[in-house]
Amino acid sequence: MKIQSAHAYKKFLRLKRPYTIARSTISNVEMVFLEVVLENGMVGIGSSSTDVEVVGESADDTLANLNQGLDDLLVGRDIRMFLGLIDEVRQIFPAQPGTQAAVDLALHDAFGKWAAIPVVDFYGRHHVQLPTSVTIGIKGVTETLAEAQEYKTLGFRVLKVKTGLDVAEDAERIVKLRERFGDYFAIRVDANTGYSIPELLTFMEQVRGLDVELVEQPLPPGNEAAIRALPGDIRRMLAADESLKNARSAIELCQGEPYGIFNIKLMKCGGICGAMEIAAIARQCDIRLFWGCNDESRASITGALHAAFACPHTRYIDLDGSLDLAEDFVAGGFILQEGIMRLPDTPGLGLRLM
């Protein structure tokens, strides 16, 4: 079955509400969508939503790349060779993970639909369902508690709390969450590179005994030597995010294991193929997997969930990115009920255009 056409376009999507992290405040997001159409009319859908500060690729960059000879690369090629096509794209655009991800996802979806198999089953399913965290941005204690109550009402049981601007207030928010909700929520923390080593140690001491599950990327990339000097029990709680971009950085982060957890995002590593490379490295190093996202369409969130469920050492997912959108252009993909994410038994990524 050959590819008949490929079409990329950009959409500007609003968030339901702005949120603040240690680096910036976000109120909207640009996304690039890619449709790959097979001869039989089946459509594979991919999308890209990169963090330009992390990977250096904007939505305009992605769109320009996809419009630069995509027809010559894909049209007329056999969808059964989709892994080889993805590899070709990775070689042509080695430093543009958003471009890679859009093609990777669209081709996975198209192949799975043609082969009548869910992508997760192509790789081998290890999980059926997992609870996703929902994210609370940096805000005051009162606002934090109010948003947590909203999530409790919706049935979510895992919070990821953004921190990194003020250690004392960060710790107070965790304390107040435990006082208000007891052990109802599992709590994760994401400092988005906002701490120094002394600040991290102060924070860890102030939340000791509050059952914080993990702390994501406390320091900026490049501080791994300092992190390796921390006690092992702290390092096991730390998750690499901005420091982990691809298989090469995964290999480097296995040396001395500054992080006990890898946060894999398709928009950093170029899609499902890049993610599975990182996952294989992590498994050899006994590092747990934590699957994350940016503000993204259901298309890429679903791709991440298929990859996560195909890895036995997946322990955590933070795949709430599409929930932040006021609108999307893709439907289907995953099922979310009371904070639990599942995959329907539909071919490919199970996506359809709205």
pLDDT digits (tens, 9 = 90+) for 110-158: 999 999 999 999 999 999 999 999 999 999 999 999 999 999 999 999 9
CA distance 256 to 236: 12
- Selected catalytic residue, list 113, 160, 245, 265: 265
295 is annotated as contributing to ligand binding: no
> For the segment 183-212, what is each residue's pLDDT rounded down to a tens digit?
999 999 999 999 999 999 999 999 999 999
Question: Which residue type does 275 have?
Answer: A
pTM exceeding 0.85: yes
Q: Which of 160, 162, 245, 268 is catalytic?
A: 162
Identify the burial level of 16 via C-beta atoms within 10 angstroms of its C-beta, where 0-12 means exposed, 13-18 middle and 19 or more buried: exposed
Across the beta sheet with 340-342, what order do the strands follow? 129-131, 340-342, 335-337
Q: Do domains 2-116 and 121-353 have the same CATH topology?
A: no
Residue 192: per-residue pLDDT: 94
Q: For residues 28 and 31, give the distance between their C-alpha atoms in angstroms, rounded to a whole number.
A: 10
216 annotated as belonging to a binding site for a ligand: yes
CA distance 174 to 210: 8
Question: What percentage of the chain carries pLDDT values higher than 70?
Answer: 98
Determine whether 113 is an active site residue: no
CB of 8 closer than 8 Å to CB of 70: yes
160 included as an active-site residue? no
Domain map of the chain by residue range?
2-116, 121-353
Nearest to 181, CA basis, from 228, 149, 138: 149
Q: Is 121 annotated as a binding residue?
A: no
The closest of 5, 9, 86, 4 to 47, measured between CA atoms, is 9
Residue range 121-353 in CATH 3.20.20.120: yes
**Closest C-alpha among 254, 320, 255 to residue 288:** 254
At 55 the pLDDT is 82
Q: Which of 14, 101, 106, 116 is nearest to 55 (CA)?
A: 101
Fold classification of 2-116 (topology level): Enolase-like; domain 1 (3.30.390)
Per-residue pLDDT of the chain (354 residues; tens, 9 = 90+): 999 999 999 998 888 877 666 666 777 889 999 999 999 999 999 999 987 887 889 999 999 999 987 888 999 999 999 999 999 999 999 999 999 999 999 999 999 999 999 999 999 999 999 999 999 999 999 999 999 999 999 999 999 999 999 999 999 999 999 999 999 999 999 999 999 999 999 999 999 999 999 999 999 999 999 999 999 999 999 999 999 999 999 999 999 999 999 999 999 999 999 999 999 999 999 999 999 999 999 999 999 999 999 999 999 999 999 998 988 989 999 999 999 999 999 999 999 998
